[in-house]
Structure 1
Amino acid sequence: MSDTTIGTAAQTASAGGSVGDYVELLKPRVMSLVVFSGLAGLVAAPGSIHPLLALTALLCIAVSAGASGAINMWYDRDIDAVMQRTRRRPIPEGRVGPDEALAFGVVLTIGAVLLMGLAVNWISAALLALASAFYVFVYTMWLKRRTPQNIVIGGAAGAFPPMIGWAAVTGTVDISSIALFLLIFMWTPPHFWALALFRSDDYARAGVPMLPVTAGARETKRQMLAYTLLLLPVAAAPWLLGAAGTLYAAGAAVLGPLFVLCAVRVLREDDEHRAGDRAAKQMFAFSILYLFLLFALLIADHLG
């Protein structure tokens, strides 16, 4: 299917997409990590919460994150249609119409925020609304197409879930929950730039100013290494603040240097012959494992 055909399909799609199409709009793979980090914040928070309210909070986090993804797909349908990674999404393929995707995302966002406020507390609901607004308006609509620092600033949206989980239990935002926020915030640039390195042609074709496109692979790799080094003390902060125990501390002490090693391997790869793609792909995969294991250890510390 040509780019023109895909673009036309996105404009002319009618309502009536399948359930699977609407689930795809929610970006379920991204949602799973968001929910897991929210669970970690909920478990690590001091105090207790009724299991039904905890499940409600996690449901709201999941629905809001997915809804933001749907609105993102609505807004980015033009560039999604020309990128190899995204051209098979429901809107570019004409399986879901743009208006339906937007309405779906907006209704779910409002519903998730209201349910969080009414069932749990309004502090966690306010954070949920802020995360959604930041992702849609600040990252998607403002930063993504304007600056190579898009993912640095815009990545804050994905760092809110542990704070939201924490607030669901405590009704507050404190320094420990901010430390969990900063962990994801600092992790996001090297994670996403690893993807951008081996998808740089895609971003260039779509006119998205990701760092590898504007500054080149070498500068991107230097900044990835810098962020992984800065991440070492940030990852230790939850333990230093008493929000995490020895299991988490041991995991951070092992996983952090491994993440740095991944960045060093990416930096040492040859740029010209695209030999760095393999190292970048490996770093991208490890970055997901890194964050998952850290939060798993945080949860284990508090449940053990």
Structure 2
Amino acid sequence: MKKYISLVVLSMFLLSCKTEMDQAMKSADKDFILKVANEKFAKKKWADALALYDRLPNLVAGTDDAPNVVFNSAYANYYDKNYRLAANQFKNFAISFPQDPRKEEAAYLSALCYYEGSLQYNLDQSNTESAITELQGFINDYPDSERSKNINQLIDELSYKLEFKAFENAKQYFKMGEYKAASVAFENVLEDFPATKLKSKIYDISLKSKYELAINSIYDLKKERLDAAAAYAKRVSTEFPNSEYSKTADDLYTKLENEKVKFAKLQEEVEKRKAEYEARVKNAEAKENEKKDLAQEKNQLEMQKAAEQTRRDSAKINSPEPQATFKFKR
């Protein structure tokens, strides 16, 4: 019986609540809507509170209730994890009600909403960049605020997310065997985030990229890349002494130096064969030129003979035969 009564009471309560919510949604009475909205807000029924607060801006415009409606609506969106909407509402509150004592709180919560809206590192990070800008803006506007004490920590956290995304993108090139692209990408990470906490890992994988690029390089670029990789290995060893990274760097440096010795021998052999080939080509060209000279000389002699023959023939034609001499008897 008691159980039945409890169910009836609960049903009547829920029905009354539903009826009150429905009435507020259909009502044009500002005070009634605001009363029910605040009750829903107090009970953490964010969706109901927001539905009612959305009906109030025009009804409370210019009244003392306007700041509370905007502020509570922003908070309801914040608690309901509608961070982008809440951020805009808190920012609008700070701009629209500059004399309100809650202005600083609204500015802080606006920046915090951007922070909460930052996505995981492997997703789009435009929200993260906006969050850093907003948090830094709060510090600039309220440098002495108690709320500013944890802002730098939040900025560091967001900055690390950007660093890590850039690092992972560069590492992906390395995994795909795109060593030149990986090396450039890691250099960009260090340039964009000079104080990055991932510096040691970046140096380590960047060295491995340079090593693979040098070892597997084409002949014309191999010496240059071997020298660059060896110099980088020395740099890593110096930057991180007595660490796992320096041990790897020293190991790769030794391999690079051995490869440089092998490549120097290969260069000597290539230069030797190149010289021999050039000598053969030069010798063949000399013989070919000698043949050409002989052929040209022979041709000139034949031309001279032909010219001489032509001259003689011409002289013969132009000189008349001597006439016959007759002797007369006396």
Per the normalisation by structure 1, the TM-score is 0.27
Q: Which has the higher contact order (CA 8 A, sep 6+)?
A: 1
Choose 1 or 2 for highest CA Rg.
2
